[in-house]
Structure 1
Amino acid sequence: MDFITKLLAATIAMGTSLTYATLGEIYTEKTGILNLGMEGTMLMGALAGFATAMATANLYLALLVAMLIGGLLSAIHAFLCVTMRANQVVSGLAITMFGTGLA
């Protein structure tokens, strides 16, 4: 029984970040855009935030850099899909592969 309790606690703790990404994806879907690049965006933001935190030891700056990198990748996806009329699936998967590859 102890294993199941620990497993459920770890699942809830690990799933919180995915819940935030899912909420963001729901808002994106309501606008009519399919964003499959959420995982790559999260990974790049986490990598940039971690690197900034290690380099500067400033958690607020690391949080700001992580948000800026995530916003930049989302803006790239929006530019490709809305302005350039690129395929949303291809653009989202490219951002996911880019973020996963660099992280």
Structure 2
Amino acid sequence: MQVVAFAVYVAANILFYVLWARVILDVVRQVRRDWKPTGLWLAVSVTILTLTDPILRVARRIVKPVRVGGAMLDLSMLAVMALVLVVVVISGAMAS
């Protein structure tokens, strides 16, 4: 059981860091709208988007955006990161 918990712990940690990379990538794309990744950055950004898009697509269906004035605030990334963090804590406790 500890081996499975450790595997889940490692996978959840990797997903957590990939989600942070997605946050950084989204911020860069918002700040520099003319930024087009090339070479290695293209491969890295495509990998990050490929890994996180299915998870966020499901989360966006469940967690609806919140209207804040004239803008819509998407909290799906925050919800996914919180859920992954809970999985990290629980699986880490089970693995030790």
* TM-score, with length taken from structure 1: 0.35
Q: Flag the structure with higher helix content.
A: 1
Structure with the larger RCO, 1 or 2 (CA within 8 Å, 6+ apart):
2
Q: Flag the structure with higher strand content.
A: 2
* TM-score, with length taken from structure 2: 0.36
